[in-house]
């Protein structure tokens, strides 16, 4: 468990699906992309975290799962899926305060 982790990352709920077309002399293309407008999630590497006993977490964790236990009224969540080296975390937009959470990081067998 990692106690008192401060979440400053801000998440924007505006996500757009864009459609591009290209017409050349010999080819025609249709391209699609998804872009998020605004927001800045917080990237966290496991090796930068310390558990409640002061031990540094390893550089990689196989099949990690990060669970968030809130300590204030700010809603926070893991963005996307965790990787072996870290995860992304953010708080919902609209809150002026930073989030304060305890992180439970488990290696799923």
Q: In which band, very low, low, confident or very high, does the pLDDT at 13 lie, cut at 50, 70 and 90?
A: low
Q: pLDDT tens digit string along 64-89?
A: 999 999 999 999 999 889 999 999 99
Identify the CA nearest to 88 among candidates 36, 53, 34, 52.
36
Q: pLDDT tens digit string along 48-60?
A: 999 999 999 999 9
Residues 6+ apart with CB under 8 A from 68: 76, 77, 78, 89, 101, 102, 103, 104
Q: What are phi and psi of 55, to 5 degrees?
A: -85, 135
Q: In which band, very low, low, confident or very high, does the pLDDT at 38 lie, cut at 50, 70 and 90?
A: low
Residues 6+ apart with CB under 8 A from 62: 84, 107
């Amino acid at each position: 468990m990692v106690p008192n982790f401060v979440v400053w990352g801000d998440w924007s709920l505006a996500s757009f699906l864009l459609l591009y077309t290209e017409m050349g002399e010999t080819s025609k293309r249709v391209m699609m992309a998804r872009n998020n407008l605004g927001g800045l999630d917080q990237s966290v590497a496991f090796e930068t975290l310390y558990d409640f006993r002061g031990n540094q977490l390893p550089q990689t964790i196989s099949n990690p799962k990060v669970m968030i236990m809130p300590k204030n009224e700010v809603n926070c969540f893991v963005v996307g899926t965790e990787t072996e080296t870290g995860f992304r975390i953010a708080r919902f937009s609209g809150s002026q305060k930073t989030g304060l959470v305890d992180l439970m990081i488990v290696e799923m067998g």
